């Protein structure tokens, strides 16, 4: 095994693209975006970005282009004055105005590179604000430090989850419940995870839960903040749960919501990969069983069985095909593990983040001996495109940002992850569990079949 | 139900209600969820279509990531503008300064992509960390031999309008560099069309047919070389005056080029624009060509527009767009379709703009500056509109409320300018309003129930109905999918009849039991 890894490393090193100092078509977004998504997954909570108006507007626009839902994100709207004298006054005015307009239960404050660079002490402002409102009911204020020069949208995401439990979680007698921190998945993924846990008869709190807020029904009447989300009351009880399960092995060595709950309240923290593919999903069900004693319901046994059946039906279409996979480190690691189990060679695995552990994360999911695998982090789409010219890829798996690459190489793009803004239903793409894997598998096989069918002069009607 | 913030009340006005004293050109209220963006956004929007320039965004990665290939801004040649370049500053550079990284980034990118010029956008933190962008640009300009122009677009330094200004100033530094290439006398520059979906090409073709040479479409399908010689044109024709008037004024002051404000949206405004240019040159042949062009085009499209009108007459629209000039044209264009504008607003209009809007709108129209999603929803519900014209951020509001939508912003794929654009506009509006999907929208069904009575339908609403509808906001939604044509008010009446009957029976039964 060690030898194989060594070989991979050597071969990878040979083909690494020329290094550019600038980032050209970034494969990442900035931290306040991740935090905003999390805050929209809390019931009646509105995100407030503490910085220039543009940060909130750009992020709104970006998030809307994927979810196709109203996403109100307030801004403290920095002016030149605030940049010089601090953004405290603006923050307080913003809190007042948001409360007046939206009557939220909570306001999630995400900072920006601007407010962090001038050294705004948001905690102090919050204290002052709360003191000045002693006699009135004000929303719960949650503060996540999310400067965009530190990490990516994923850091923002996990910072916000951490800030939420730090602010709200309380101690008390243990309850027979688990916390699930799913990471940045689709709304459909969140719905399905809830279905799994409910079917297993487990009491759980999923944090965040934007399955409804960012993929809601058509309204019968106006909603200031879309209905749904993890309730504040339930978040308070996360400190009393049996355990926290967080998806994403890259989080292992970081201080996260799960580790905070463990340290402060003794809630066992468990990290596992995003459950994509049979192996990762089996692991997820094993962890659930281990923590709660709940066995996998028959329904999911059957889903698993059908998935294996389809793997066998479709194996010839995919075997030996070479894929480009990109996105967030944990997403790519799980996706790679899935591709590996169906016989697709993950020829290029790319992440925009800079975790220092990406290679290890990806390789831990690879069981087959593949040659010529490139595993690159802190990479952008231009570097990927340059690399792809020589790796002979057959298929691309990732978000809409890979469309230009797919067009250039003339190979199919199977859209997964975030953002998907050139197709409808990005929020309803299911990735996780046996059912999600089934859908991914079908889409990947069909994309390869369609490509073959379209490229053939025969016009096969049976393939 | 939806409360308007006190501090915002002066920025809205309903025609016919009180004196007109609309406040505008203010910074957005903190916490108000403005639809506006920032200084950087203003600069990026204007400069974006310069397709053979390098656009390097100096700062952390977000600003570049969110503006990657964000607008149509079609190019007939190079497409360097569609790539997103960032210095992607990290914590270390924020602490020790980003100048070195900027220099290295500029140098490597110019060598790799061979642009005709480079724009360096300073984002929020650049000024704060003390980077001397000007000096780095000057150094690279000397070394590379191409214009390397800093754009002072720190997000917090004002509003989107200040970003326009910074972009105009950056463009102005390119102008006047080419003194050699000859430019004919009867020539213009097109300012402020961004060629989002090929509009610049439509307009350019009109001018070609008229016999006017276009030297540079500065901000649409733009090229550095054309901009460099644009100071030799005889006239600047400015659309989207909010963003480009500053450049036109600078060109007037420095090069003596007069400018005219026009709009290419809608039939009258397009015709007006072309005549304005024709009259300026005072050439009989040019005038004849223009008359011929306008007549042919209007003859061609007018019957089509009338056909659309038969379907769209008496609908009500809300308009919320970036610049007020576009709003003027839209109010007029909608009138051709028999659609009344019930709400109209812009992000960046000035007092003069809003006064003009007040003039051209009907009584009862709400005029609003720098609105937010809550206000917009409130007005849309109050005015019971059938259509919203706006951009991506406004779209979900419309859809959730069961209101048709027309994208008149950067994600549109159909050219909306010129005579051809008017037809595209009609088709866009028609294909949304006439879609059968609204029959299932719960909000629309509710609104139809209300509006049938409120709009004074010939069968007067009995008291019981009004009361019922008020007590039951969900009325009429039952079995929606199975009941056929929901747009038919009679059908709604039928449902309510059934519901009232059901309640009555229930009550009677209860009484009987008692």
Q: With an 8 Å Cβ cutoff, is A129 touching chain B?
A: no
CA distance B65 to chain A (A): 6
Rounded distance, CA A262 to CA A273, Å? Answer: 19
Which of B373, B408, B434 terminates a domain? The answer is B434
Q: Do B32 and A101 touch (CB under 8 A)?
A: yes
Residues in chain A: 463
Nearest Cα of chain B lies from the Cα of A221 at a distance, in angstroms, of: 6
Sheet with A74-75: strands ordered across: A74-75, A45-50, A106-111, A140-144
Which residue is listed with tokens 């069983």? A289
The topology under which CATH files domain A2-26+315-455 is Rossmann fold (3.40.50)
CB contact under 8 A, A23 and B87: yes
B149 with B61, same domain?
Answer: yes
Domain count, chain B: 4
Minimal Cα–Cα distance from A198 to chain B, Å?
Answer: 29
Domain membership of residue B301 (yes or no) is no
Which residue in chain A has the smallest CA separation from B113?
A24
- To the nearest whole Å, the CA of A89 is away from the closest chain B CA by 9
- Residue B146 shares a structural domain with residue B252: no
Classify residue A13 by burial, with Cβ atoms within 10 Å: 0-12, 13-18, 19+: exposed
- Verify whether the Cβ–Cβ distance A30 to B39 is below 8 Å: no
B149 & B195 share domain: no
Do residues A428 and A188 touch, judged by C-beta distance below 8 A? yes
Q: Is A245 helix (H, G, I), strand (E, B) or coil?
A: strand
Give bridge partners of residue A414 from the DSSP assignment.
A397
Tokens, residue A32: 């306040």
Q: Is B371 helix (H, G, I), strand (E, B) or coil?
A: coil
Model ipTM? 0.94
Tokens of A237: 């009880």
Query: How far is residue B192's CA from residue B241's CA, in Å, rounded to a whole number?
Result: 7
Please report the pLDDT score of residue A2 as a whole number. Answer: 46
B508: pLDDT confidence band, cut at 50, 70 and 90?
A: low
Chain B residue numbers with beta carbons less than 8 Å from the beta carbon of A218 are 399-400, 402, 440-443
Asked if residue B311 belongs to a domain, the reply is yes
Q: Would B1 be classed as within a structural domain?
A: no
Element (H, E) at A389: helix A381-391
pLDDT at A15: 66
Domain pair A2-26+315-455 / A31-274, same fold = yes
- A residues 39-78 near B, CB within 8 Å? 48, 51-62, 64-65, 68-78
Helix (H, G, I), strand (E, B) or coil at B203: helix
Please state, in angstroms and rounded to a whole number, the distance separating the CA atoms of residues A351 and A381. Answer: 10
**Tens digit of each residue's pLDDT (9 = 90 or more) over B111-168:** 999 999 999 999 999 989 999 999 999 999 999 999 999 999 999 999 899 999 999 9
A202 touches A252 (CB < 8 A): no
Nearest-CA neighbor of A35 among A159, A162, A184?
Answer: A159
* A421: chain B residues, CB-CB within 8 Å: none
State which residues form the domain around B143.
Answer: 39-174
| C-alpha torsion B366→B369→B375→B377, nearest 10 | 70
Contact B433, B386 (CB under 8 A): yes
Of residues B510 and B18, more confidence is placed in: B18
The answer as to CATH 3.40.50.1970 being correct for domain A31-274 is no
β-strand partners of B259: B236
Nearest chain A Cα distance for residue B323, angstroms: 17
Residue with tokens 């006239």: B235
DSSP A180-201: EE--S--HHHHHHHHHHHHHTT
Share of chain B above pLDDT 90, in %: 76
Nearest to A106 by CA among A29, A65, A160, A153: A160
The reply to whether B430 and B448 lie within a common domain is no
pLDDT digits (tens, 9 = 90+) for B346-370: 998 999 999 999 999 999 999 999 9
- pLDDT higher than threshold 80 for residue B331: yes
H-helix segments, B342-417: 351-360, 373-383, 395-400
pLDDT, mean of residues B288-317: 97
Minimal Cα distance from B381: which residue of A? A222
Q: Compute the nearest-CA separation of A72 from chain B (Å).
A: 7
Which uninterrupted H or E stretch holds B103?
helix B99-113
Give the distance from residue B28's alpha carbon to the nearest chain A alpha carbon, in angstroms. Answer: 7
pLDDT at B301: 97
Q: How far apart are the first and last CA of chain B?
A: 38
Q: What CATH number is attached to the domain comprising B212? A: 3.40.50.1980
Q: Which residues of A touch B40 (CB under 8 A)?
A: 52, 54
Residues 194-233 of A with CB under 8 A from B: 216, 218-224
Instruction: Name the minimum distance, in Å, from the CA of A3 to any CA of chain B.
Output: 35
Residue A163, token pair as written in the block? 């800030």
| B64, B93, B402: residue with CB nearest A26 | B64
Contacts of B93 (CB under 8 A, 6+ apart): A149, B87, B101, B129
The gap between the terminal CA atoms of chain A, to the nearest Å, is 37
Which member of B35, B156, B401 has the closest CB to residue A57?
B35
Strands B148-152 and B117-122: parallel
Of B492, B462, B459, B451, the closest CA to residue B475 belongs to: B492
B263 plus B317 within the same structural domain: no
The residue written with tokens 């859209």 in the block is A415
Distance CA A413, CA A370 (A): 22
Do B258 and B315 sit in the same domain of this protein?
no
Residues B284 and B224 in one domain: yes
**Which residues of chain A make contact with B29, given a CB cutoff of 8 A?**
77, 93, 97
Listed residues B383, B403, B434: the one ending a domain: B434
Largest CA distance in chain B: 100
A138 inside 8 A of chain B by CB = no
What are the tens digits of pLDDT across the range B66-104? 999 998 899 999 999 999 999 999 999 999 999 999 999
Q: What is the predicted pLDDT for the residue at A239?
A: 98
Name the helix (H) or strand (E) containing A29. none
CA distance, residue A68 to nearest chain B CA (Å)? 6
Q: Is residue B123 part of a domain?
A: yes
Are A224 and B374 in contact by the 8 Å Cβ rule? The answer is yes
Say if the Cβ atoms of A53 and B7 lie within 8 Å. Answer: no
In terms of domains, do B424 and B502 share one?
no
Supply the pLDDT for residue B82: 97
Distance CA B76, CA A24 (A): 22
Q: Does residue B102 sit in the same domain as residue B215?
A: no
Chain A residues touching residue B370 (CB < 8 angstroms): none
Q: In chain A, which residue's Cα lies nearest the Cα of B26?
A: A79
Give one word for A392, left, alpha or beta, with left for phi > 0 and alpha for psi -120 to 50.
Answer: left
Q: Minimal CA–CA distance to A240: which of A195, A205, A192?
A: A205
The shortest CB-CB distance from A21 to any of B31, B108, B378 is to B108
A456 interfacial to chain B (CB closer than 8 Å): no
Q: For residue B30, give the nearest of A65, A94, A118 by CB distance.
A: A94
Does an H or E element contain A324, and which?
Answer: strand A322-327
- HEC profile for A394-407? CEEEECHHHHHHHH
Alpha helices in B233-283 (DSSP H): 241-255, 267-281
- CB of A437 within 8 Å of any CB in chain B? no
Query: What per-residue confidence (pLDDT) applies to B501?
Result: 55
> What does each C-alpha distance from A134 to A44, A169, B322 come to in angstroms?
22, 22, 40
∠ CA(A418), CA(A421), CA(A427), 5° rounding? 55
Nearest C-alpha in B relative to A25: B84
Taking contacts as CB-CB distances below 8 angstroms, the residues of chain A near B35 are 57
Mean pLDDT of B318-339: 94
Residue in this structure with the two tokens 């590996």, named with its chain if needed:
A340
A150 interfaces chain B, CB cutoff of 8 Å: yes
Using pLDDT thresholds of 50, 70 and 90, give the confidence band for residue B482: very low
Inter-chain CB proximity B30 and A90 less than 8 Å = yes
pLDDT in the model for residue B95 = 95
> In whole angstroms, what is the distance from residue B21 CA to residue A8 CA?
71
Distance CA(B149)–CA(B163), nearest Å, equals 15
Main-chain dihedrals φ then ψ at residue B182, nearest 5 degrees: -70, 145
Extract long-range pairs of B272-279: CB within 8 Å, 24+ residues apart.
Answer: B273/B237, B273/B239, B274/B206, B274/B207, B274/B210, B276/B237, B277/B188, B277/B207, B277/B210, B277/B212, B277/B235, B277/B237, B278/B210, B278/B212
Place of tokens 């879309």: A226
Q: In whole angstroms, what separates CA A346 from the centre of its chain?
A: 20
Q: Chain A residues with CB inside 8 Å of B31's CB?
A: 48, 74-77, 93-98, 101
Transcribe B30-91 into DSSP letters.
TTS--S---HHHHHHHHHTTBTTEEEEEESSSHHHHHTTT-S----SS--GGGS-EE----H
| Cβ–Cβ gap A97/B31 under 8 Å | yes
pLDDT in tens, chain A (463 residues): 444 444 444 444 446 788 999 999 999 999 999 999 999 999 999 999 999 999 999 999 999 999 999 999 999 999 999 999 999 999 999 999 999 999 999 999 999 999 999 999 999 999 999 999 999 999 999 999 999 999 999 999 999 999 999 999 999 999 999 999 999 999 999 999 999 999 999 999 999 999 999 999 999 888 999 999 999 999 999 999 999 999 999 999 899 999 999 999 999 999 999 999 999 999 999 999 999 999 999 999 999 999 999 999 999 999 999 999 999 999 999 999 999 999 999 999 999 999 999 999 999 999 987 778 999 999 999 999 999 988 999 999 999 999 999 999 999 999 999 999 999 999 999 999 999 999 999 999 999 999 999 999 999 999 8
Residue B179 lies in a domain: no
Within 8 A of A96 by CB-CB distance, chain B residues are: 31
The confidence score (pLDDT) of residue A374 equals: 95
**Residues B43 and B167 grouped into a single domain:** yes
Interchain CB contact of A117 with B (< 8 Å): yes
Q: How far apart are CA B491 and CA B487, in angstroms?
A: 8
Last residue of a domain, one of B296, B327, B352: B296
Chain B residue with minimal CA distance to A69? B396
Residue A423: predicted pLDDT: 97
The neighbour count for residue A453, using CB atoms within 10 Å, is: 14
In chain A, residues 151-180 whose CB comes closer than 8 Å to chain B:
152
DSSP code of B230? G
Length of chain B: 514
* Phi/psi of residue B81, nearest 5 degrees: -65, -20
In the predicted structure, residue B503 carries a pLDDT above the cut 70: no
B221: Cα within 13 Å, side-chain hemisphere: 19
Tell me the two tokens of residue A74.
């307030």
Give the residue carrying structure tokens 């209905």.
A227
Taking one residue from A and the other from B, the number of pairs with CB-CB distance under 8 angstroms is 244
- Which tokens is A86 given? 């601090």
Task: List C-alpha distances in Å: A426 to A273, A328, A400, B261.
Answer: 21, 16, 9, 42
B285 and B355 in a single domain? The answer is no
Question: Does B87 share its domain with B170?
Answer: yes
Q: Are A225 and A45 in contact (CB under 8 A)?
A: yes
pLDDT for residue B484 is more than 70:
no
Chain A residues closer than 8 Å to B101 by CB:
21
Question: Is residue A113 a contact partner of residue A148, using CB atoms and an 8 Å limit?
Answer: yes
Contact A48 B31 (CB under 8 A): yes
Q: What is the mean pLDDT of chain B?
A: 89
């Amino acid at each position: 095994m060690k030898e194989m890894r060594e070989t991979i490393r050597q071969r990878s090193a040979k083909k690494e693209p020329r290094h550019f100092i600038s980032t050209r078509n970034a494969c990442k977004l900035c931290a306040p975006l991740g935090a905003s998504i999390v805050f929209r997954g809390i019931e009646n909570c509105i995100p407030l970005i503490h910085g220039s108006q543009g940060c909130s507007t750009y992020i709104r626009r970006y998030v809307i282009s994927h979810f196709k839902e109203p996403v109100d994100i307030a801004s403290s709207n920095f002016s030149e004055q605030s940049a010089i004298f601090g953004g405290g006054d603006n923050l307080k005015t913003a809190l007042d105005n948001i409360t007046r307009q939206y009557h939220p239960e909570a306001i999630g404050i995400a900072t920006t590179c601007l407010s962090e660079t001038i050294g705004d002490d948001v905690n102090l402002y919050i204290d002052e604000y709360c003191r000045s409102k002693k006699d009135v009911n004000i929303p719960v204020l949650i503060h996540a430090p999310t400067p965009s020069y530190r990490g990516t949208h994923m850091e923002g995401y996990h910072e916000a989850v951490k800030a939420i439990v730090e602010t709200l979680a309380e101690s008390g007698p243990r309850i027979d419940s688990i916390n699930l921190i799913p990471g940045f998945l689709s709304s459909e993924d969140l719905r399905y995870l809830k279905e799994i846990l409910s079917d297993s008869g487990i009491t759980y709190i999923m944090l965040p839960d934007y399955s409804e807020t960012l993929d809601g029904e058509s309204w019968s009447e106006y909603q200031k903040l879309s209905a749904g989300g993890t309730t504040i009351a339930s978040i308070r009880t996360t400190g009393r749960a049996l355990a926290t399960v967080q998806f994403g092995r890259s989080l292992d060595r970081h201080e996260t919501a799960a580790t905070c709950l463990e340290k402060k309240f003794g809630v066992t923290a468990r990290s596992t990969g995003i459950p994509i593919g049979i192996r990762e999903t089996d692991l997820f069900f094993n962890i659930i069983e281990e923590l709660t004693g709940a066995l996998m319901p028959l329904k999911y046994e059957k889903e698993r069985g059908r998935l294996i059946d389809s793997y066998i039906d479709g194996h010839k279409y995919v075997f030996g095909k070479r894929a480009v996979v990109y996105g967030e480190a944990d997403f790519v690691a799980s996706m790679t593990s899935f591709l590996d189990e169906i016989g697709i060679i993950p020829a290029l695995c790319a992440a925009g983040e800079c975790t220092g552990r990406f290679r290890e994360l990806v390789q831990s999911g690879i069981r087959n001996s593949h040659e010529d695998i490139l595993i690159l982090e802190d990479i952008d789409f231009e570097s990927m495109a340059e690399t792809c010219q020589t790796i002979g890829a057959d298929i691309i798996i990732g978000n809409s940002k890979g469309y230009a690459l797919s067009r250039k190489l003339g190979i199919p793009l199977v859209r997964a992850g975030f953002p998907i803004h050139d197709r409808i239903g990005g929020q309803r793409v299911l990735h996780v569990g046996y059912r999600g894997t089934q859908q991914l598998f079908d889409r990947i096989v069909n994309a390869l079949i369609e490509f073959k069918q379209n490229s053939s002069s025969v016009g096969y009607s049976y393939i | 139900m939806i409360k308007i913030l006190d501090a915002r009340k002066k920025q809205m006005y309903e025609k016919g209600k009180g004196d007109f004293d609309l406040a505008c050109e203010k910074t957005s209220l903190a916490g108000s969820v403005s639809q506006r963006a920032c200084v950087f956004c203003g600069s990026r929007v204007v400069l974006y279509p310069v397709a053979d320039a390098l656009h390097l965004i100096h700062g952390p990665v977000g600003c570049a990531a969110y503006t990657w290939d964000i607008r149509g801004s079609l190019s007939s040649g190079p497409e360097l503008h569609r790539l997103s370049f960032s210095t992607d500053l990290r914590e270390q550079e924020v602490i020790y300064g980003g100048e070195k990284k900027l220099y290295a980034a500029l140098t490597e990118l110019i060598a790799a992509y061979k642009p005709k010029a480079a724009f360096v956008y300073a984002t929020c933190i650049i000024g704060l960390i003390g980077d001397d962008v000007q000096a780095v640009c000057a150094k690279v300009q000397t070394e590379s031999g191409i214009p390397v122009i800093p754009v002072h677009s720190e997000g917090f330094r004002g509003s989107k309008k200040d970003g326009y200004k910074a972009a105009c100033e950056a463009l102005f530094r390119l102008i006047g560099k080419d003194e050699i290439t000859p430019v004919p006398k009867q020539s213009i520059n097109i300012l402020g069309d961004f060629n989002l979906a090929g509009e610049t090409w439509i307009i350019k073709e009109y001018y070609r047919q008229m016999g006017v040479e276009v030297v540079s479409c500065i901000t649409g399908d733009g090229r550095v070389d054309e901009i460099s010689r644009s100071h030799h044109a005889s006239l600047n024709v400015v659309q989207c005056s909010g963003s480009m008037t500053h450049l036109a004024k600078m060109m007037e002051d420095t090069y003596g080029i007069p400018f005219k404000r026009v709009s290419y949206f809608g039939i009258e405004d397009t015709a007006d624009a072309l005549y304005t240019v024709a009259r300026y040159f005072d050439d009989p042949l040019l005038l004849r060509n223009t008359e011929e062009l306008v007549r042919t085009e209007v003859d061609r499209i007018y019957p089509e527009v009338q056909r659309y009108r038969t379907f769209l007459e008496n609908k009500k629209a809300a308009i919320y767009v970036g610049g007020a000039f576009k709003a003027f044209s839209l109010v007029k264009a909608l009138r051709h379709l028999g659609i009344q504008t019930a709400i109209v607003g812009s992000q960046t209009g000035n007092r003069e703009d809003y006064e003009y809007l007040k003039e051209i709108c009907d009584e009862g129209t709400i005029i609003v500056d720098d609105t937010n999603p809550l206000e917009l929803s409130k007005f849309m519900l109050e005015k019971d509109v059938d259509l919203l014209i706006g951009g991506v951020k406004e779209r979900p509001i419309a859809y959730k409320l069961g209101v048709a939508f027309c994208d008149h912003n950067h994600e549109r794929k159909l050219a909306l300018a010129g005579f051809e654009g008017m037809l595209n506009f009609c088709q866009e509006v028609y294909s949304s309003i006439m879609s059968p999907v609204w029959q299932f929208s719960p909000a629309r069904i509710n609104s139809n129930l209300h509006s049938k009575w409120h709009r004074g339908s010939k069968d007067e609403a009995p008291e019981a109905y009004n009361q019922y509808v008020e007590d039951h906001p969900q009325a009429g939604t039952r079995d929606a999918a199975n009941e056929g044509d929901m747009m038919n008010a009679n059908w709604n009446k039928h449902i309510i009849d059934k519901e009232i009957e059901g309640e009555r029976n229930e009550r009677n039964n209860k009484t009987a039991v008692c």
